[in-house]
Structure 1
Amino acid sequence: MSFSKGNEGANGGLSSAAISMDNYGATDETNTLTSDYLDEDEEGVPIEFGPRLVNDDPGTYFNDGRRKIDFVIVYEEEKLSEKQQQKKEREERERVEKNLPPGPEEDEDAQHREWRKKYISNLLRAGLEIEEDVAEGDTKIITYYKLHAPWTVLAFYAEELNFRAPLQLNTGPAADIPGEEDAHTNPSSNWSARMLRKLRIPNIMSNTVPNKPLDFFTCSFKRSKIKKFLGSDNKATFFTNSDRTRVVNEILQSSTYGKRRRAEIGIDRLLEEDIFQAAYPLHDGTEELPKGNLVSDEDLNKRQILNKYWARWGCWYKYQPLDHIREYFGEKIGIYFAWLGFYTGWLLPASVVGLLVFLYGLATMGTNVPAQEICNSGGEFKMCPQCDPDIGCPYWNLSDTCMQSEIAYLFDNAGTLFFAVFMSFWAVSFLEYWKRKQASLAHHWDVMDFEEDEERPRPQFAAKAPMMEKNPITGIMEPYFPEDIRKKRWLTGVGIMCGMVVLVLIFMVGVIMYRILIDIPLSQNAILKSESQSIASMSSAVVNLILIMVLGQVYQTLAGILNDWEMHRTQTEYEDNLTFKVFIFQFMNFFSSIFYIAFFKGKFVGYPGNYTMIFGLRNEECSNGGCLVELAQQLLVIMVGKQIINNCQEVAIPKLKQFILRWKMRGSLGNRESKRWEADYQLVPNDGLFEEYLEMVIQFGFITVFVAAFPLAPLFALLNNWIEIRLDGSKYVSEVRRSVADRAQDIGIWYDILEFIANLAVMSNAFLIAFTSEFLSRVMYQYKYDFHLHGYTNFTLSYAPNGTTSEPCRYKDFRDDEGNHTKVYYQLLAIKLAFVILFEHFVFGIGRFIDFAVPDVPESLEVKIKRESYLAKQALQEIQADKL
């Protein structure tokens, strides 16, 4: 593995050298991995290097043009001017002459240099091959260590990491999408393609993407079975780029740079300590398409194919090429986009039904008798002042609220109940069918039986753990943090989280006070008094959105600090606890004001002569159109406003980060174009999928928990997600560094959160229809008094008790002349409670039936699993027979 030093380039200060083991104090004998399967062609070139594709980027190879760059590590150092260098050398000479010890900075620099040297040496010992490039900029000297894993290393770690290898091509039934070959099966299939094909309707969403990965029957990779696997005769392409990066990442994570007993292990901790600045696998080349038609689509690199057939805006109506996404980015990112696409597809029927419900309300608005009675009442219903008359609040006529009454019918009509039931079943069915889709994908992508092995400690945990203790599973000494101290810290974190939730409630009270104080002067204005509550409600919703976004950013920073302080041992524990903290807070942050309007506002106002007071002011009532209209306004502002802000951030922030990175690298390229490893270093580091999942889960809450009040919510979510898929796709293809192709078999803890929201939505919509809308009170009036609702407005109004107001007036409630609740009130309360119980039991019962009737694993998939198991056993038996 020793290579001679390469030529030094003059352009932009670039120099290149291939590093040998001997340079770093290691010898070939230290590498225990042998080249048992390494063949050579007639010219003596190892077959594993292989030929390059027509449009393959030469920047993804070593300088010999043969060995693939599987990973890049970057180190930056300040470039000193000539005077600074002379000063440094003079100070060093004086220190030596006076026999003084090195200062803290010199000591730290020397330690970091030693760690870097030892780490590179250990990577060579592990079998990696390294080539070094140095680029000098105006202020920085940037060193790129390019890593390549030879066949022997790949084969050894593929067996250790339980990679799956192809046994036989799956030539089952043809995919349901026209134009696909028999080998491309199950997960590409979807209900919309099947339905359109049966109806003989052209499918404009069909997306025939070149070079689709084939579907194979697979089993665990074994070096002893190498000849039984398909493609084993071509070792250059046997392992995909994603497999190669997984292997190199495993070596990077497990190699030491100091003393193992101090847990000085892994690239993550080196990055944390700023000893290296970046570590990333390379993209396959540029995402920009070749000019003209010089290269066919089949010869495009995988990044260009994803950009042309997925990430660009022109593909907004096309199916996602999930197999290509998984092949390029790995299963973890592939499953996220599969879930996002599946969720977006299911939003389509929900959007159509929601739009039809809204149009039904619009079409039947003229038949709304209660609204007609209000509009034609003139001065018949003189209403009590909405605040204390002492501060100038006047009496008013109910006819002033004619427009609000008509608008309220759009969100409170017979379709409301139907849509609430529909969306409850929709949420349950969506989760059940996602489990089936998830199982199909997991099997198709060979991660169905994937479980994390015993995870190594997080680098941050290893750095801060106060003691070492033997791991009971591996028997290796590992960093340890006392469990009792961790529990105390976790409880402290829960207390701080509760404090932040209380802070949210305090801000919510502040918004309520703002709404009351704004409403008072507006209600005194002769022109604006009829719209005072609507103006106050909309402006307070905007103020609330600003507070929500600010508090959300503050808390996410705080949650990260708390999670670090709690010292979670593994990355899985860390992410699960962070997800729990952030979701609980963000859910309260986004939904507390909505819950208040839906279930508390206007319910505890009191009555004339006995009003409930808060800080000397009367508790606020629902707007003239009812609380359901206010709830719809609040949902519209918060949901749509959040989506607009998030989308703007996703566009602007990566570009700003790219500008900063390119500014730091200024002058390092000279007059030449950047190499692939330099171009990728200028991209934004990948922050993972946490923010993406959180955004979609909060949206799922908006369209399910309060959907009875806002039937257009699924439509807005659908429009946002069409944009979101392209923004995320463009970000991953063009704007961020390629991440390690992590494996995953599901969406993890997010499924449990979605299930919690779906169950909460059933209860929320039941109470919303019963206690916030007037649906049940209208049904009761129709049954007892008049089917056509004549006289309903008068039925819902009570007279102010004698002596409580200077003039006779009316207010909305069911009370007698002394302010006590009437018999009708208790009858209606009993009906509401009965409705809630029946609604919940009916929906949950049907949901459990759906859960029982829809198996988590499709029958066709079970057959494939059994077939694959049979082939794996057959291959093993043949190997044993050959040995005998």
Structure 2
Amino acid sequence: MMESDNTSNCNHEKEEHESSSHSTPQEHRSFAEFAKDKLDSAGRELRRRLPMAGLGAHLMHPRRLLLHSTPTQQTDVVLIFPKGLPDSMLLWLLQKLRGSRPRLRVCVRQHASSQCSAFYITADDDVLLQTAEEIHLPMLLKPEFGGGYKEFTVRDMHCFQRGSSAAELLSSQERGALVKHVLESARAEPGDERALEPALTLRPGQSIVPACVSRGVVASMFPLHERTALESLRKKWVKTLFTPQPLDEISEYFGVKIAMYFAWLGHYTQSLTVPAVVGFVFWVWLGTANDYWKDIAYVLFSLFNVLWACVYLETWKRYSNVLAYRWGTLDQRDELLVEPRPLFQGEMGTSEVTGRPEPQYAAWRRRVWRHCVSLPLMLLCLAVAGLATFALLRTQDWWEETIYYFSWIPRAFLAILIAVEEEVYARIARWLNDKENYRLETKYENHLILKIALFQFVNSFMSLFYIAFYLQDMDKLKEQLAVLLITRQIIGNLKESALPYLIENMRLAKMCFDVFGAISPSKIPTAAQLTEVFEKKTSSSGDPPEMLINGTEKEERRYSDSLVGQKIIHQAELESQLFKYDGTFAEYLEMLTQLGHVVLFSAAFPLAALCALLNNACEVRADAFKLCHVAQRPFGERVSSIGSWQHAMEAMVAVAVLVNCALIGLSGPVHRLLPDATPAQTILVIVALEHVVLVIVLCLRLAIPEIPAWLATEMAKVEFQRREAIKNAHAPLLSEGTSSDDVRFSSRTTPRTMTPTTPKQNDKPVDKKRINIGKISEIPPFS
């Protein structure tokens, strides 16, 4: 047997040598591909001659496991529990999830690499479809029904474009979100208070799974990646630099909220090209111009930055509305019709709007806490941060005047202080926000944005305000702005992408060593073999095998080993080692600070926009790399815009008007351009300039409509087609009801109309083999 292997290897080497001797790499392939083939050939020869070299291959290329891991079938959401969690808690949670209405399909397994238990969760198609109707999931209608988006209903499932079954109608991102919704609907009942003690004390009516996630009873909860779609995104999105982002594919795979962030980041980056070019020209021209023209250019460049920021924000509003219309989120449901967030606390009662069970919390209690606790504590934190920064800046001035040497020490202390203050205050802000107990996720996030963005503004720009208005040193302001802008960008990219990538590779390398030892990833079974394993195991019962919580030898692994001959790692087990994606909050906050550096003091450093442009060109791909390679797949969310970040940027532009006008007055251009003006006249000129700029900004906002004309025409066209569908007696018709369920861009501009009625029995029926509508029971929002 060994002789035959050696003979085959020799023949293979001979063929490679003959092919390489008769043709050159330039004739058939690129140099990179030729070098890769040679390296792979050398690696195979090294592993043949030295078997232990396989361990080095694991340590060098641990991410190959992502391609060779066993696909986890019939699973939408995975719950990972910390090591050592008592079996009694696992059994209680398992009973709660399996006994919930609607019923979930839960498979219990134990991961070999981490010795952690996990729940592999999915739901039947009828449950998913009924949940999609419950959460009013919008879907595209077929053209014969008028087109556009309409909230999904089971009775009208044949009217939507994708198909007539759950497998066709629901994407993997939507399936994960629906299963998550069902998981969050499982609530504690009277008598369940002590089931998870001492880790967690439940309250009747509290959502069980989100509470477990927040208190560490559940280590992580994530949907599984879809390999084909993920690989497509990696090729079209991560590995390309100068091609447009595939926003529709991002929305389909990661959800509208993440796609909206990347659309905003791309639009912001493209818009930065204008101030970057103008700032570069201004910076070059300053070296040759005289003082008179320098002062004029300084004033014009300051005003240009403010007006550019205003135009950019208004054009983004238009573009975001176009994207929201394309993705079916342009008109969200009324807040009173949206179900409360899972961590919303209160006594269980009946909703006055829907009549369903829902936690009740008095609004006056939230207002009392917000005004009596949150506001004073926020002001105290802002005062402490401002005084600490001011003290360190004064220390820095004293150090430079007396000691001279090692002037970087106080600046390093300032950078450390800013980072520590941001981390501490972020924890305080989240605690305050939790205590305020907002009913909706959007309200919760908006108030958190207000708290953290305000502190970030004071903490990040305190030193710049001190230098600009207290020291009035423009040269030092330019130096400080350049240092802050460049260092924050470099550190941010390293911390967000490079460091997590290295740490994750170390985790995967350890997993390789624990599970495979010195076996190379090249020995892992092929995808066809693994599919054959799964099909043989599920052919008899149709369900995936269920594992014991504390089983010593897993049947699934024994079966796979005996059939394929090698150990395997499941996709879910591998993805549990990836970093959890914390959402877009930190990314928005970083870009908001960057925008402040560009528009507030950019006249002192004209290259600020150019530095921001170069950073964001890398930031788009770095964030995409983090999502596609480093992080677990996040749950998809539907939003209509970027929310309060738009208001935060508008506030930043308003402050920029005041700051730039004040800098024009303090830095000297007005005094040099108007040498005979008195101080009172100078102040009047600055105030008049400020009011003129504010009026121009207001006029720009009014002149640029938020809804493009073509979009309004398209919405009117869709509405007209739906009316015509009602009139057409021979066309298939939708179920009865008003168009309040339809996705419109504004109730002020789109009149209410009646939607068509349901087709009769002789029309195209629903495939009852795929889903039995009559057996779908009503799903209450909370169990």
TM-score in same-fold range (> 0.5): yes
Out of 734-743 and 557-566, give the one that drifted further: 557-566
1:268 counterpart letter in structure 2: P
Identify if the C-alpha distance between structure 1 residues 264 and 567 changes in structure 2 by more than 3 Å, giving closer, same or farther: closer
1:94-124 Cα shifts (integer Å, max 9, x gaps):
xxxxxxxxxxxxxx863552233222232xx
Rounded Cα–Cα distance in structure 1 between residues aligned with 2:413 and 2:641: 38
| Alignment-derived partner of residue 199 in structure 2 | none
Matching of residues 649-728 of structure 1 within 5 Å: 649-655=495-501, 658=504, 669=515, 672-728=567-623
| Alignment-derived partner of residue 756 in structure 1 | 651
| Alignment-derived partner of residue 489 in structure 1 | 369
Identify if the C-alpha distance between structure 1 residues 661 and 142 changes in structure 2 by more than 3 Å, giving closer, same or farther: farther
Residue among 241, 246, 255 paired with 2:172: 241
| Alignment-derived partner of residue 752 in structure 2 | none
Maintained 8 Å contact 1:428/1:758: yes
Q: Which runs of 5+ in 2 are unaligned?
A: 1-65, 193-202, 517-565, 734-756, 762-783
CA drift of 1:695 comes to 0.6
CA drift of 1:216 comes to 6.7
| Alignment-derived partner of residue 311 in structure 1 | 238
| Alignment-derived partner of residue 418 in structure 1 | 300
Residue among 862, 869, 881 paired with 2:712: 862
Maintained 8 Å contact 2:578/2:632: yes
| Alignment-derived partner of residue 418 in structure 2 | 548
Rounded Cα–Cα distance in structure 1 between residues aligned with 2:389 and 2:157: 65
1:276 corresponds to 2:218: yes
CA drift of 1:702 comes to 1.0
2:686 counterpart letter in structure 1: V
1:434 corresponds to 2:316: yes
| Alignment-derived partner of residue 500 in structure 1 | 381
Identify if the C-alpha distance between structure 1 residues 469 and 668 changes in structure 2 by more than 3 Å, giving closer, same or farther: farther
Residue among 579, 589, 608 paired with 2:449: 579
| Alignment-derived partner of residue 205 in structure 2 | 263
Residue among 119, 128, 132 paired with 1:154: 128
CA drift of 1:413 comes to 3.6
Maintained 8 Å contact 1:685/1:736: yes
Matching of residues 546-695 of structure 1 within 5 Å: 546-601=416-471, 622=472, 627-655=473-501, 658=504, 669=515, 672-695=567-590
Match of 1:279, SS state, is strand
Identify if the C-alpha distance between structure 1 residues 550 and 233 changes in structure 2 by more than 3 Å, giving closer, same or farther: closer
Residue among 328, 353, 360 paired with 1:473: 353
Match of 1:633, SS state, is helix
| Alignment-derived partner of residue 330 in structure 2 | 448
CA drift of 1:337 comes to 0.4
CA drift of 1:510 comes to 1.6
Rounded Cα–Cα distance in structure 1 between residues aligned with 2:385 and 2:189: 46
Rounded Cα–Cα distance in structure 2 between residues aligned with 1:656 and 1:471: 49
1:842 corresponds to 2:662: no
Rounded Cα–Cα distance in structure 2 between residues aligned with 1:680 and 1:418: 53
Rounded Cα–Cα distance in structure 2 between residues aligned with 1:219 and 1:481: 32
| Alignment-derived partner of residue 135 in structure 1 | 111
Rounded Cα–Cα distance in structure 2 between residues aligned with 1:778 and 1:217: 60
| Alignment-derived partner of residue 113 in structure 1 | 91
CA drift of 1:652 comes to 4.6
CA drift of 1:646 comes to 1.4
CA drift of 1:596 comes to 1.9
Rounded Cα–Cα distance in structure 1 between residues aligned with 2:226 and 2:275: 39
| Alignment-derived partner of residue 512 in structure 1 | 393
Identify if the C-alpha distance between structure 1 residues 474 and 118 changes in structure 2 by more than 3 Å, giving closer, same or farther: same
Match of 1:753, SS state, is helix
CA RMSD of aligned residues (A): 3.2
Identify if the C-alpha distance between structure 1 residues 360 and 141 changes in structure 2 by more than 3 Å, giving closer, same or farther: closer
Out of 555-564 and 742-751, give the one that drifted further: 555-564
Identify if the C-alpha distance between structure 1 residues 472 and 664 changes in structure 2 by more than 3 Å, giving closer, same or farther: farther
Maintained 8 Å contact 1:657/1:684: no
CA drift of 1:482 comes to 5.2
Identify if the C-alpha distance between structure 1 residues 74 and 519 changes in structure 2 by more than 3 Å, giving closer, same or farther: closer
Maintained 8 Å contact 1:281/1:740: yes
Rounded Cα–Cα distance in structure 1 between residues aligned with 2:452 and 2:172: 34
1:72 corresponds to 2:78: yes
Maintained 8 Å contact 2:139/2:328: no
Identify if the C-alpha distance between structure 1 residues 78 and 58 changes in structure 2 by more than 3 Å, giving closer, same or farther: closer
Maintained 8 Å contact 2:207/2:343: no
Match of 2:221, SS state, is strand
Residue among 851, 861, 864 paired with 2:701: 851
**Greater helix share, 1 or 2?**
2
Identify if the C-alpha distance between structure 1 residues 510 and 709 changes in structure 2 by more than 3 Å, giving closer, same or farther: same
Match of 2:148, SS state, is strand
- Normalising by the residue count of structure 2, what TM-score does the alignment of the two structures yield? 0.71
Identify if the C-alpha distance between structure 1 residues 360 and 250 changes in structure 2 by more than 3 Å, giving closer, same or farther: same
Rounded Cα–Cα distance in structure 1 between residues aligned with 2:83 and 2:188: 19
1:594-631 Cα shifts (integer Å, max 9, x gaps):
11222232xxxxxxxxxxxxxxxxxxxx5xxxx11121
- Normalising by the residue count of structure 1, what TM-score does the alignment of the two structures yield? 0.63
Report percent identity of matched pairs.
28
Maintained 8 Å contact 2:97/2:103: no
Match of 2:245, SS state, is coil
Rounded Cα–Cα distance in structure 1 between residues aligned with 2:137 and 2:348: 32
Maintained 8 Å contact 2:109/2:120: yes
Match of 2:251, SS state, is helix
Q: Answer with 1 or 2: which has the greater Rg.
A: 1
Q: Which runs of 5+ in 1 are unaligned?
A: 1-54, 63-67, 80-107, 171-214, 286-300, 370-408, 523-527, 602-621, 785-826
| Alignment-derived partner of residue 336 in structure 1 | 261
Rounded Cα–Cα distance in structure 2 between residues aligned with 1:649 and 1:539: 22
Match of 1:280, SS state, is strand
CA drift of 1:60 comes to 4.9
Matching of residues 141-290 of structure 1 within 5 Å: 141-150=116-125, 152-168=126-142, 217-232=148-163, 236-256=167-187, 258-259=189-190, 262-285=204-227
Maintained 8 Å contact 2:111/2:118: yes
Identify if the C-alpha distance between structure 1 residues 317 and 570 changes in structure 2 by more than 3 Å, giving closer, same or farther: same
Rounded Cα–Cα distance in structure 2 between residues aligned with 1:558 and 1:496: 9
Maintained 8 Å contact 1:685/1:737: yes
Identify if the C-alpha distance between structure 1 residues 684 and 230 changes in structure 2 by more than 3 Å, giving closer, same or farther: same
Matching of residues 4-83 of structure 1 within 5 Å: 59-60=70-71, 62=73, 68-78=74-84
CA drift of 1:456 comes to 4.4
Residue among 666, 682, 690 paired with 1:832: 682
| Alignment-derived partner of residue 302 in structure 1 | 229
CA drift of 1:668 comes to 7.4
Rounded Cα–Cα distance in structure 2 between residues aligned with 1:668 and 1:262: 43
| Alignment-derived partner of residue 126 in structure 1 | 102
Match of 1:263, SS state, is coil
Maintained 8 Å contact 1:166/1:216: yes
Rounded Cα–Cα distance in structure 1 between residues aligned with 2:111 and 2:402: 67
1:773-808 Cα shifts (integer Å, max 9, x gaps):
221121124xx6xxxxxxxxxxxxxxxxxxxxxxxx
Maintained 8 Å contact 1:281/1:739: yes
1:732 corresponds to 2:614: no
| Alignment-derived partner of residue 394 in structure 1 | none
Identify if the C-alpha distance between structure 1 residues 560 and 882 changes in structure 2 by more than 3 Å, giving closer, same or farther: closer
Rounded Cα–Cα distance in structure 1 between residues aligned with 2:445 and 2:619: 23
Match of 2:99, SS state, is helix
Match of 1:730, SS state, is helix
Rounded Cα–Cα distance in structure 2 between residues aligned with 1:711 and 1:542: 25
Identify if the C-alpha distance between structure 1 residues 233 and 858 changes in structure 2 by more than 3 Å, giving closer, same or farther: same
Rounded Cα–Cα distance in structure 2 between residues aligned with 1:539 and 1:546: 11
Maintained 8 Å contact 1:311/1:730: yes
Rounded Cα–Cα distance in structure 2 between residues aligned with 1:435 and 1:739: 26
Identify if the C-alpha distance between structure 1 residues 426 and 269 changes in structure 2 by more than 3 Å, giving closer, same or farther: same
